[in-house]
Amino acid sequence: MTTCFVLASKSPARLRMLRSAGIEPVVIASGADESHLRGEDAVAMTARLSRLKAHSVIESGALEEYPADRMIVVACDSVLNLDGRILGKPHTAERARQWWRRM
């Protein structure tokens, strides 16, 4: 019996990375709320969102056809902490360039 490798992300970069390693995952975007919680630092936020995404995909029912003991779910998140501020997604190429220049 084969193992089902699940990527709980819609990130094209993460999918490319796995495929380049010879892994063809089942891709299921979590749809989890990625809001920053007041007082939460970048490390805690990244860990919380990764767990939230994994649980969201598992609990969605989308993986019911796969035996739980033959499934690996990879959920990740990345957070930019710049000058002590957590920044969300840049949403534009220009904003991303501005952030790169500030770093």
- Is 33 one of the annotated active-site residues of the chain? no
Separation CA 80–CA 4 (nearest Å): 31
In the set 33, 41, 69, 77, the catalytic residue is: 77
In 3-state terms, the chain is what percent helix, strand and coil (to 5)? 40, 15, 45
Q: Cite the DSSP H helix spans in the chain.
A: 12-20, 42-59, 93-102
b/e per residue 38-60 (b: at least 16 CB within 10 A): eebebeebbebbbebbbebbbee
Active site residues: 77
